[in-house]
A and B are shown apart, each in its own frame.
Chain A
Amino acid sequence: MPIKIILHKDRCNGHARCVRKAPDVYRLDERGFIGSAPETVPAELEDQAIAGAGACPEEAIEIVQS
């Protein structure tokens, strides 16, 4: 079942743990805050996406089973 990513940008504090864990999933904006992520995650990137979300200290990334 495909998973979806919801970004809570207001919670992001620029720690960049998401990008470290999931460089193919999350992109930072030019200032260093969460910029974007695919809304629906391709199967091969699911593990990365979940690891990246779990690494966020601010719980700014939500993973939802669609």
Chain B
Amino acid sequence: MRRKSVEQKNPGAVSSPACPFSAETQEKILHHFDHHSSLYRDHSAEALKLLRDQAPVAKTDAHGGFYVLTRYQDVLEAARDDERFCSFWGITIPTNKAPWDRAQTIPIDLDPPYNELFRDMMLPLFTPKAIDAYGVFLRQTATKLVDAFIEKGEADLARDFGSPLTALFTMELAGIDHAQADFYASTIQYGIAHPGDPDALARMAEARGRVSREVAAQKDNPRSGGLIDYLFKARVGGRPLMDWEIEAIVWLVLLGGVDSTQATISNMAVHLSDHPELKQRLIEHPDSWDDAVEEYLRLVTPQQGLSRTVTRETSLGGVELQRGDRVLMSWQAANLDESVFPNPNEIVLDRKNKRHLAFGIGKHRCMGSNIGRLEVLIALEQLLTRIPDFKVKAGEAELSADIGTVKAYKKVPITFTPGKRSA
């Protein structure tokens, strides 16, 4: 028997002081939630709070219909239970994966036990030892990028810093010629920000085609030390990988590498510019940078949420779900759940609970998490030590039109006192 989702309290109430929305807008959020809307873009935190407070497992008719989860505990439960909430039918809403398609990205599109076979095989690429080596490349690259604009007194932190930093590193990790960094970054960022758009889909298909040709080209001549080289030599379940599996892994690494981390860097820079006392505190206390990075990951939650498909009749958060229902696990909402993170909208450097969900949780938790952390830390280091008085030009930072998948900035124009290039 299907129960209705939690009834909206006071359906006719006008907005309370804490709630910035008219009754009409509240209705839109509670019954027609759309993470790709301009309403979400402009008011995601408040919209998610409204849902969390009044309809934590809310049904919406957007994008063919789904449920949106906004409580930490419910997001956690869904993310940890691959058996009831599976990935194979698509992990974004909307998705362009049909149930009969094979996995387009590995391991994220696979369910256990298959995803674990691939994960285990890839884990050595993400151990602390491997990451220390990446740190050398990242610091050198970050330094050079800042050198290129530090004498000018102005720059765009997205275009000139965050995006190229993470894109170049992703090429290095993947084992692809660095000259391709800008092509993959701009195509994938555009694709993620315009889901379903025919032009975006065409460009993404072109990029995906390039990955196929790259893997084919490297088959007899792999770039030593890169991911493709590693995958040609690896085994899963005792057998070598098939070409399409290698491509699907590389594609995921590209998708994961060129957008969400640069989005974190942009969001962090904008926030620091808006909170000069916090910025000053960080400048004076480098020992707090690790905590700052963790708090920014929680607050920003660059990858806003992913979805699952319900595999059998079950209940979650008191709501009955049917086989085939889709649920959107809002990492962003979970990370702003004040019952878990008091003062959720603030950077609280000494926050004890660090178990945010910016990287997801469970068997699909982001494998690149420690790399992402390092990139953001190195970015913070560059900002605070080389251009510490940077300020975002008033009103000029521009969020993507659609932040439903990745909360990225299109541009972050800044000014600062010109400095010196590194030695």
Contacts and interface: CB of A to CB of B under 8 A. Distances in A.
Interface of A: 13-17, 19-20, 28, 31-33, 54-55, 57-58
B361 A16 contact: no
A13 B363 contact: yes
A58 to B, nearest CB: 8
Nearest to B124: A32
A20 B370 contact: yes
A38 to B, nearest CB: 19
Interface in B332-385: 352, 354-355, 359, 361-363, 365, 367, 369-370
Interface of B: 119-120, 123-124, 126-128, 352, 354-355, 359, 361-363, 365, 367, 369-370
Contact of B370 (A13, A15, A33, A54): A15
A57 B365 contact: yes
Contacts of B361: 57-58
Contacts, number: 39
A50 to B, nearest CB: 11
Contact of B354 (A28, A32, A33, A55): A55
Given A31-B124, A33-B123, A57-B359, 18 more contacts: A13-B363, A13-B365, A14-B120, A14-B123, A14-B126, A15-B369, A16-B126, A16-B128, A28-B128, A31-B123, A32-B123, A32-B126, A32-B127, A54-B352, A54-B354, A55-B354, A57-B355, A58-B361
A25 B355 CA distance: 20
Secondary structure at the A interface, as helix, strand, loop or mixed, is loop
A4 B377 CA distance: 32
Sorted nearest first, the 5 A-B pairs with minimum C-beta distance are: A32-B123, A32-B127, A14-B123, A16-B128, A19-B128
Contact of B365 (A15, A28, A31, A55): A15
A48 B367 CA distance: 24
Given A54-B354, A57-B355, A31 B363 contact: no
20 contacts: A13-B363, A13-B365, A14-B120, A14-B126, A15-B365, A15-B370, A16-B126, A16-B370, A17-B370, A20-B128, A20-B370, A28-B128, A31-B120, A31-B123, A32-B124, A33-B123, A54-B352, A54-B354, A57-B359, A58-B362
B127 A28 contact: yes
Nearest to A16: B128
A28 B124 CA distance: 11
A16 to B, nearest CB: 5
Nearest to B369: A15
A43 B145 CA distance: 44
Contacts of A55: 354
Contacts of B369: 15
A54 B117 CA distance: 27
Given A54-B354, A57-B355, A16 B362 contact: no
Nearest to B360: A57
Contacts of A31: 120, 123-124
Contacts of B355: 57
Contacts of B123: 14, 31-33
Contacts of A15: 365, 369-370
Nearest to B353: A54
A33 B370 CA distance: 14
B374 to A, nearest CB: 10
Contacts of A16: 126-128, 370
Contacts of A28: 127-128
A32 to B, nearest CB: 4
